[in-house]
Amino acid sequence: MDFYIGLLQIFGIHTLLGLSAYLLILTGQVSMAQAGFFAIGAYMAGICTAMWGWHIVPALALGGLLSGVLALLIGFPALRVKGMMLVIATLAFSEVVRLFFFNFNYTVLRDGIPIGPIGAEGFRRIRYFPENGWTTIEVSLFMGLIVLLVGGALWWADRSRLGAVVRAVGEDELAAQSVGINLTTIKVAAMTLGGVIAGIGGGLYAHMTTHVEHLNFGILLATFAIAYPILGGMGSVFGTLAAVVFVQGFLVEGLRFLGDWRNLLFGLLIMLAMNVRIKQLGDVRLRNLLRGLFGLRRRSHAGA
């Protein structure tokens, strides 16, 4: 039972990670900076609870706020470039953040035990939930509530005038600019809000695992972030959730016996999604593709 509860918690955290990238991808940009924002939120929230004695809610808020501020600061220079250059710039930011925490030392003594980030050894004893008597069910419900609030807010915004503006920027920048939309404002706002969401997700991750280190926030995590909205389609936030369940539940856990071959399958799925260009789950192009594949299989069996 604990395994399935833990898996649900992973779904929630990775959903926040995917939604943080979803916002920027809607504007037509691909960013690898989500891993860096995730790391900042994880360390900051952990410092707040484990070292400063804060409640979990303001700790997550501060972690998200700090990630959002840094996203705002790097948004202006980074979003002046596009395509591969933006990917490289944001990947470099994530690596700078990771290496910063690799060298970051800041500890306090609690009951004679040093607590805090210790460079390459990471940040241990982030034990807010067990120390305050939270059960695994309560932790899962808390995470689920945050995912519901964030996902619901994005779902509502996606169907408002703001969502139409963001999608207009992603589909045709020249047309959007011609009707008075400020491209820089929309892109930087999307990156900032995405940083906040990733920071909150990182804070939850740190408290779920009770131990984080710089290796947790590498390029694989950044790849997961942009893969979820791509695989789930860009029609709604529910596609991102479905992609998280598929990748983490089926590819990562269900196919664990395949070992590193899962990475090859993961890459092939992203290539397929990029070529088919699925807009949402149930997209007619996806249905036609699957019908063609299964139809071909049935014909081959009939011929045999």
* Arithmetic mean of pLDDT, 101-117: 90
Mean pLDDT, range 204-231, rounded to an integer: 91
Any domain includes 288: no
pLDDT surpassing 50 at residue 304 = no
**Is 193 contained in some domain?**
yes
The tens digit of pLDDT for each residue in 248-292 reads 888 888 877 777 777 777 777 777 766 665 554 444 444 454 455
Domain-located, residue 23: yes
Domain with 26, as residue range(s), is 2-221
pLDDT at 246 over 80: yes
Q: Count of domains in the chain?
A: 1
Q: Kindly state the percentage of the chain with pLDDT values over 70.
A: 88
- Please write the tens of the pLDDT for every residue from 110-127: 888 889 999 999 999 999
Residue 280 lies in a domain: no
Please write down the HEC assignment for all residues of the chain.
CHHHHHHHHHHHHHHHHHHHHHHHHHCCCCCCCHHHHHHHHHHHHHHHHHHCCCCHHHHHHHHHHHHHHHHHHHHHHHCCCCHHHHHHHHHHHHHHHHHHHHCCECCEEECCEEECEEHHHCECCCCHHHHCCCCHHHHHHHHHHHHHHHHHHHHHHHCCHHHHHHHHHHHCHHHHHHCCCCHHHHHHHHHHHHHHHHHHHHHHHHHHHCCECHHHHCHHHHHHHHHHHHHHCCCCHHHHHHHHHHHHHHHHHHCHHHCCHHHHHHHHHHHHHHHHCCCCCCCHHHHHHHHHHHHHHHHHHHHC
Whether the predicted pLDDT of 296 surpasses 50: no
**pLDDT digit string, tens, across residues 158-200:** 888 888 888 888 888 888 888 888 888 898 999 999 999 999 9
Give the pTM: 0.87
The band of 128, judged by pLDDT with boundaries at 50, 70 and 90, is: very high
In a domain, 184, yes or no: yes
pLDDT(72) > 90: yes
Q: Does residue 294 lie in a domain region?
A: no
Is residue 255 assigned to a domain? no
Average pLDDT over residues 9-36: 91
Asked whether residue 246 is domain-assigned, the answer is no
